[in-house]
């Protein structure tokens, strides 16, 4: 099937009164959207509006819930206040100021991002980077701090609200390369944001090419976190530099690195259009691997069939199911979050319905301050009902893979709401984590470096 080119058109808060699709939505709902979008960023595009949302099922449609602000994303008191401001047509500066107060109460940078994660080079902080886990560095290119459309649940919503103190960004990539030279334990670099694929390929290339230098042979994979595969597949199909982007992917592979596209798919509908499937085919054809991840969110994908269908479709299209996340403790999490007990049940039941090829997926996983903690199961031990937990990643690599136990709690929705089982006063990692915070220890693995990787020949060498 031939995919016709399409011109990208974005819609933001100021367009809520102009979108013809919203004519069928009650006026009070549009007003509520305007109030909520003053606090949480709103951006959608013509492909999402015209191809992904079923407007006959609004407001229940999952893609509508995924992209358009919902009134209950704000606490009742805050919602009333913002509705009053919008209703009386308050000056923009007053709305922004009061929205800022709400934003700063909503844990804009969860999991210790502003305290633990900032790496240092020659004693100076590198604010456009994060180094939380030994083998992986996150890089936030300054030109990639937006997206083709925004998810209502996005845990990085603070990136988009226009407040400098809430942003992670790096203007240049030189310090990234210099940091990596000093840290041979790093095996993978993740470009994230925002969405790095909002950038033109020529700009992205300036960040990626230095990482292909033989001096950085310890970097075995380059990851790009993106929602473009779901929200704007034309990025890989008919955009002016789409072919250049795919050539860049091929160059990474030829240099002996793995290019991994960390694609965010929240619902199977995002994979069902001809454009989405053609984009996946082109990406995989470059030798890149596509790994799929998303959080479990109420109103969007909180049922077994949605996840089982999505994982099966990903495998059919050649992608790899990778993670089911838990709603992070930031922004509108109270609106979207699902209790851990139910999240585990959904994951387990969906996992049971797919073949082994889809069981590469892990979850439900919490990206919390100490690390990525997965609910591995439920059990009854010595008469006590417990959650079985495990670190998939940890600030201390020695924490990884060791099971530990929490009291079963059907209402808990995050790690800090769980209590240790069997009468323990704290989880095994808590004392060390506290010491890290008090001492500012950001690189506790410096004496635990992973072994130097074996040589991998580039494509040019083995051809």
pLDDT in tens, 363-373: 999 999 999 99
- Exposure of 23 in the CB half-sphere (CA atoms within 13 A): 4
Per-residue model confidence as pLDDT tens digits over 114-173: 556 788 888 888 888 999 999 999 999 988 889 999 999 887 656 655 544 444 445 577
pLDDT at 181 over 90: yes
Higher pLDDT, 330 or 278: 278
Q: Tell me, what's the pLDDT at 41?
A: 87
Length of the chain in residues, anyone?
463
Question: For residue range 191-214, what is the model confidence (pLDDT) as tens digits?
Answer: 998 899 999 999 999 999 999 999
Model confidence pLDDT, tens digit, residues 29-53: 999 999 999 998 899 999 999 999 9
pLDDT in tens, 301-318: 999 999 999 999 999 999
**What is the per-residue pLDDT across 245-264, written as a single tens digit (0 to 9) for each?**
999 999 999 999 999 999 99
Closest CA to 400 of 345, 453, 450: 450
Domains of the chain, by residue range, sit at: 10-104
Q: Is 452 exposed, middle or buried (0-12, 13-18, 19+ CB in 10 A)?
A: exposed
Please, are residues 260 and 223 in contact by the beta-carbon 8 Å criterion? yes
Residue 331's pLDDT is: 77
The predicted structure's pLDDT at residue 188: 98
Residue with the bigger pLDDT between 448 and 421: it is 421
pLDDT one-digit tens code per residue, 430-441: 999 988 877 665
């Amino acid at each position: 099937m031939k995919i016709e080119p399409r011109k990208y058109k974005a819609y933001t808060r100021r367009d809520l009164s102009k979108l013809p699709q919203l004519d069928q939505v009650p006026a009070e709902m549009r007003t509520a959207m305007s109030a909520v979008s003053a606090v949480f960023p709103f951006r959608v595009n013509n492909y999402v509006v015209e191809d992904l949302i079923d407007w006959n099922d609004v407001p229940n449609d999952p893609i509508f819930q995924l992209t358009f602000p919902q009134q209950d994303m704000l606490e009742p008191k805050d919602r009333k206040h913002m509705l009053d401001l919008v209703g009386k047509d308050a000056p923009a500066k007053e709305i922004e100021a009061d929205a800022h107060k709400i934003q700063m109460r909503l844990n804009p940078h969860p999991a210790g991002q502003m305290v633990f994660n900032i790496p240092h080079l020659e004693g100076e902080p590198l604010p456009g980077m994060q180094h939380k886990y030994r083998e992986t560095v996150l890089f936030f290119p300054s030109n990639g701090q937006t997206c083709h459309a925004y998810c209502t649940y996005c845990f990085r919503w603070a990136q988009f609200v226009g407040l400098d103190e809430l942003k992670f960004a790096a203007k240049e990539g030189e310090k990234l390369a210099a940091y990596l030279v000093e840290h041979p334990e790093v095996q993978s670099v993740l470009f994230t944001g925002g969405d790095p694929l909002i950038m033109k390929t020529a700009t992205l290339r300036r960040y990626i090419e230095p990482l292909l230098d033989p001096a950085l042979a310890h970097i075995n994979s380059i990851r790009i976190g993106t929602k473009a595969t779901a929200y704007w597949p034309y990025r890989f199909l008919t955009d002016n530099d789409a072919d250049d982007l795919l050539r860049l992917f091929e160059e990474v592979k030829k240099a002996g690195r793995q290019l991994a596209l960390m694609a965010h798919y929240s619902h199977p509908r995002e994979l069902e259009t001809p454009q989405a499937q053609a984009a996946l085919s082109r990406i995989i054809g470059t030798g890149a691997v596509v790994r799929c991840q998303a959080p479990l969110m109420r109103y969007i994908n909180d049922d077994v069939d949605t996840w089982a269908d999505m994982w099966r479709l990903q495998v059919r299209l050649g992608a790899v199911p990778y993670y089911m996340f838990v709603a992070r403790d930031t922004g509108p999490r109270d609106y979207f979050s699902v209790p851990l007990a139910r999240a585990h049940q959904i994951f387990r039941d969906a996992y049971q319905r797919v073949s082994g090829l889809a069981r590469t997926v892990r979850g439900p996983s919490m990206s919390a301050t100490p690390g990525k903690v997965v609910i591995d199961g439920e059990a009854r031990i010595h008469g006590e009902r417990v959650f079985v937990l495990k670190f998939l990643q940890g600030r201390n690599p020695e924490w990884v893979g060791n099971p530990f136990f929490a009291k079963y709690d059907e209402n808990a929705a995050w790690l800090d709401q769980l209590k240790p089982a069997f009468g323990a006063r704290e989880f095994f990692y808590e004392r060390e984590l506290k010491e890290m915070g008090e001492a500012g220890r950001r690189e506790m693995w410096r004496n635990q470096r992973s072994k130097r990787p074996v040589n991998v020949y580039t494509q040019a060498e083995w051809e």
